[in-house]
Every structure is written in structure tokens, then in C-alpha cells.
Amino acid sequence: AQSVTQLDSQVPVFEEAPVELRCNYSSSVSVYLFWYVQYPNQGLQLLLKYLSGSTLVKGINGFEAEFNKSQTSFHLRKPSVHISDTAEYFCAVSAQGGGFKTIFGAGTRLFVKA
Amino acid sequence: ETGVTQSPTHLIKTRGQQVTLRCSSQSGHNTVSWYQQALGQGPQFIFQYYREEENGRGNFPPRFSGLQFPNYSSELNVNALELDDSALYLCASSTRVAGSSTDTQYFGPGTRLTVL
């Protein structure tokens, strides 16, 4: 079985500052890792995914994440945030990909202040 | 826009009633997954359908059931509604090729169900 822990429920940050949203996971098998963003009253949008290969993954909207197998982490980073990045961010794992039994974390609310 | 649509947008039911939620997958996708997202929480996997058959299930009781149709649209049915069923219900479509399912999920906007 897999589990996901998002270490921060809320992250306030000023506009143009860097941000890191932390995600740790546990699994007895190899997993696929994902970050999704959810804007108010909308569904989830994929930011980036790690399936295999390079541990540094670049996604949309300037986000990137680094897979660290030894620390079982998949932290999301952005060097300079915008007001429009204010949203809920979810880390997720799946043993098979394609949505099969995907496990989501509880979410991190990113609040970007002017 | 992901091409995944859900209906209705909002729904209010009373305890004990039954509800059907609908999802239209993105064109060309043969797999649909349903999730329940309670307020302030992450989505929880309910089940997945692939080629009209249930392909895997999360920790949800049998009163949660589903259907996938030949055109890959899908329904989620919930019987004997309970207050705790109040949540945002999300569907997500993806493509499964034999032996592989690494494709991305595309989520719909969700149906907000309130049980009174």
C-alpha cells in the first residue's frame, strides 16, 4: 500500500519569492509520482509527473519537482511565484499510473501575497 | 479545458435517497476513474472502469457503484445516501494500452453533492 504526506497545510509567500511545497511518500513498490493543482471550484490539473528517468522533473507554469528515492520525497518548487499561483496543490502516488488507485495527499494551500 | 465534462454541477439530496452522477470522458480515452473529495481533503479513489468493467476499487462500500458505456461515458451511483457522502465527486479519464497505463489522467470540474 502507498501513502502520501504533505508536510504543510498552508504556505503563505510574497509575490516573486521562491516556494517549496513538501511531499513525502511511502510505498513497498516502485511508484509514479504526481503534482496537481486545483483552483477554486475547478477540477484538478496535472502540473508534472515522475515516471522514471531524470529525477528533476519540469512541469507547466514554471514548476519543477525533484524525486529523491532515499528520502522518499517529491518536493515541488517554483523560483518566483505569482498571485495567480494561489491555489490548492496535491501530491499523489500510483503504483501503476493511468489513475489506477491513485493516492492523494491532503493538499497544501499556497497563498501568494502582493 | 480538459474535455472531460460532468453533470450536474451541483446536487442536493436527502439522507436515504439515491443519486446518479455522470461523466463524459475526453475523446479517445478508454478508462475512467471516480474520486470523492471531502471538504478540505484530497481526493479519494472510489473505483476505475476500463472497457466497461470495474478495474479496481478503493475503500468504499458496495452502495457506491458505477457503469461505463460503449462510448466511454460513465455514471457513478450512490444508494442510501448518508450525510458523510457530501463531497465533490471528480471523474478523470485516461488511456490504457494493453500492459501499460502510464498515461495522464484528465479531470472534470466535479459535481458538488450535498446530503441533508
pLDDT greater than 60 at residue A68:
yes
CB A66 within 8 A of CB A57: yes
Is B48 strand, coil or helix?
strand
| In chain B, residues 54-73 whose CB comes closer than 8 Å to chain A | 55-56, 58
What are the residue ranges of helices labelled H in chain B?
none
Is A42 strand, coil or helix?
coil
pLDDT band with cut points at 50, 70 and 90 for residue A97: low
DSSP state of A84: G
Per-residue pLDDT of chain B in tens (116 residues, 90 and over written 9): 668 999 999 999 999 999 999 999 887 888 899 999 999 899 999 999 988 899 889 999 999 999 999 888 999 999 999 999 999 999 999 887 665 555 678 899 999 999 99
Burial of B80 (0-12, 13-18, 19+ CB in 10 A): exposed
How close is the nearest chain B Cα to the Cα of A2, in Å?
A: 12
C-alpha span between A105 and B110 (Å, rounded)? 18
A46 and B105 within 8 Å at the Cβ level: the answer is yes
**In chain A, how many H helices and how many E strands?**
0, 12
Query: Which of B2, B92, B108 has the CB atom closest to A99's CB atom?
Result: B92
To the nearest whole percent, how much of chain A has pLDDT over 70? 96
- Longest CA pairwise span in chain A (Å): 43
How close is the nearest chain A Cα to the Cα of B57, in Å?
A: 7
CB A104 within 8 A of CB A25: no
* Residues A6-12, mean pLDDT to the nearest whole number: 96
B2 and A43 within 8 Å at the Cβ level: the answer is yes
How close is the nearest chain B Cα to the Cα of A95, in Å?
A: 10
A43 and B48 within 8 Å at the Cβ level: the answer is no
A98 and B110 within 8 Å at the Cβ level: the answer is no
pLDDT of residue A95: 79
Residues of A in contact with B48 (CB under 8 A): 99-101
A4: number of Cβ within 10 Å: 23
pLDDT greater than 80 at residue A64:
yes
Find the helix or strand (DSSP H, E) in which B16 lies. Answer: none
C-alpha span between A95 and A27 (Å, rounded)? 9
